Chains A and B, each alone.
Chain A
Amino acid sequence: MKEQLAKIRAEALSAFESVKDAAALDELRVRYLGKKGELTAVLKQMGKLSAEERPAMGQLANEVRSALEGALDAATQKMEAAALELKLKAETVDVTIPGKQVQVGRRHPMNTALDEIKEIFIGMGFTVLDGPEIELAELNFDRLNAEEGHPSRDWSDTFYFDTDERVMLRSQTSPMQVRAMDSMELPIRIIAPGRVYRKDEVDATHSPMFHQVEGMVIDRHVTMADLKGTLNLLAEQLFGAGTVTRFRPHHFPFTEPSCEMDVQCHKCGGAGCPTCKGEGWIELLGAGMIHPHVLEMAGIDPEEWSGWAFGMGLERTAMRRFKIDDLRLIFENDVRFLEQF
């Protein structure tokens, strides 16, 4: 019997090893492990054995059965794996065929630039303010120290709705400084983006309507060094770490001292090239310490409070950010342009 078992084992293992298809495998399973199979037939002879022989032989028989079952499993798995492989092969696709189109709309590049600026300032505790575009000249000019006679009040520069020059299209977002001072509790940290209007004919760098973002801080002990620090941070966030800036004295009626901030030309690194008109620097924004008289007009004591403000053109920032070379593209809204962003 021992020999019989050994024979079955050897034959079966070899048969399972070399089986070719599922039907043949099933046939082998029935032949060796089935109820009428060879192994069962041998086991049926167990009764003929002596009580002493039986356990050892039983154990041997079980070992053979388990070996056969293991071999059967292995053969089954191998067979299934081969079948799956065939199926997968048949299912191969041409991955270079284009995907099914999902149309996704784009943010206008100007607003993308604005979003970045908003995020930067919100992170620093600023509130975003909105205000009217049809504005009082009083807020756009008088309250900002640009009194009658200031050149920016000319009809050649500013759009008016009445001959008294009372109501106008705001020429800057700066009246939002006044609106904030008039309506908010101190200390104030705001930015105010929006549309502004100046009487410029449309060309590659001018448009009668464009966008600015105003920023303002009023607090105790605010210094020009703070202004520089904050604006440097803005430049780095917009144009990358290590962006080099410089500050130049300038004049705005509502700030004193006033400055403009330039960013070193990204193209030439300051050596001078056509992009920066040979200067090595590109003007980014105007800023300054809020003029004490502007604070006084808002009922804020300049001896106790000080502040800084800045204003920057968004189109130009977006144009620099995305290397757009013609302002008209911004307002033409051709999808071939819009879909690039």
Chain B
Amino acid sequence: MSNTKFILGVYEDEDILLSAIKTIRTAGVKIHEVYSPFPVHGIDDVLGYKRSKLSIVAFLFGVLGTSLALVMQVGMMGVDWPMIIGGKDFIPYPSFVPVIFELTVLLAAYGMCFTFFIISDLKPWAKPRIFDLRITDDKHVMAIDLDQNKIDVAKIDQILKDNGASEVNQKTFDEA
């Protein structure tokens, strides 16, 4: 129901882009997101992104996998249906290690992947906002959400142009 309006600065070169991000942010303009056809080194720092906490999620899922594997094997082999295999104890911990390892890796990997999908809004039914088709080809596009900025449009236009944007466009998304 609301309309979201963006100003898009199109950049040709990643070095110009990086210095532009710096000046634009110091000028007080909030940048929604920057899209580029390839990873730009150091862009996270310039955009002021904090380090992702995804690794902690991975660790916790790993611990969950370890616990699950232990509980499962002790439950099956030690409680539910104890069997003597190779003259070992009913609960032979060394034999459990490969399964513990595998489940730890499996849950850490899947847990991290799905968490990443969720926090990055990559659910299958998500409608992606396509700002400019050329971001998958040869242009870097800086998107500035007008709702988040109190500075007036003409001024932002000017700042973008002054900092090396090859063109400045606007795009509005109708969102239900």
The answer on A and B forming one complex is: no
